[in-house]
Every structure is written in C-alpha cells, then in structure tokens.
C-alpha cells in the first residue's frame, strides 16, 4: 500500500465534498490533530479509522488503499445500510418497551 496515495485519495474526496480536513475528522468522530498527524507523517491509520473515512467519503476501503476498488459506494449498498440501521433502531425501541 502506498500510504501517500491513500492520503491523496482521502484529501481529494474531502475537497470534492467541499469540506475541510477538520470537518471531515469531526464527522468521522476522530480528532483533527490525530488525522493531521497521520497525513503529515504518511502513517497508516488503524483499520477502524480508515473504514470510517471510507464510509464518510462514500468510497470503498479498497479504493482508498490501492485505488483499484470502487471509487463510489453503490446506491444499493447505501440503501441496504439504511434499512439495516432502521431495523436496528426499531429493535432497540422494542427491547426498551418490553418489561424486564
């Protein structure tokens, strides 16, 4: 994996969204200094953070890593994820309503 290319793809996608790196970090629930440090030192982020970045940027993790995977997450995947989130929220409501 070429780490500089990884971060170049991240930076490009952040710009395409019209955001700052600080705004992207906040949206991904990570500190901006941590993100900036990884970028400036060309460090590989932990997988959980790389995954958060990919999801936020709307690309596959493979794309960020090697530039070869899908550069856009398909709409079908987004719909499935939204439905799963909705089901999870509904189950949480049901669990809360059941007396213990």
Could you give the number of structural domains in the chain?
A: 1
Question: Which residue has better confidence, 78 or 36?
Answer: 36
Q: Which of 6-15, 39-48, 85-94 has the lowest average pLDDT?
A: 85-94
Across the chain, mean pLDDT equals: 88
Q: Are 17 and 45 in contact (CB under 8 A)?
A: no
pLDDT digits (tens, 9 = 90+) for 49-79: 999 999 999 898 888 988 887 666 655 566 7
Domain of 22: which CATH number?
1.10.260.40
Tell me what pLDDT residue 25 has.
97
Q: What domain range includes position 76?
A: 3-97
Q: Are 53 and 45 in contact (CB under 8 A)?
A: yes
């Amino acid at each position: 994996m070429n780490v500089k290319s990884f971060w170049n793809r991240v930076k490009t996608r952040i710009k395409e969204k019209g955001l700052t790196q600080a705004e992207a970090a906040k949206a991904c629930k990570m500190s901006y200094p941590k993100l900036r440090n990884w970028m400036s030192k060309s460090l590989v982020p932990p997988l959980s953070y790389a995954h958060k970045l990919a999801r936020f940027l709307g690309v596959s993790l493979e794309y960020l890593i090697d530039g070869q995977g899908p550069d856009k997450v398909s709409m079908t995947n987004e719909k499935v994820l939204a439905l799963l989130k909705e089901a999870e929220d509904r189950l949480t409501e049901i669990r809360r309503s059941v007396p213990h």
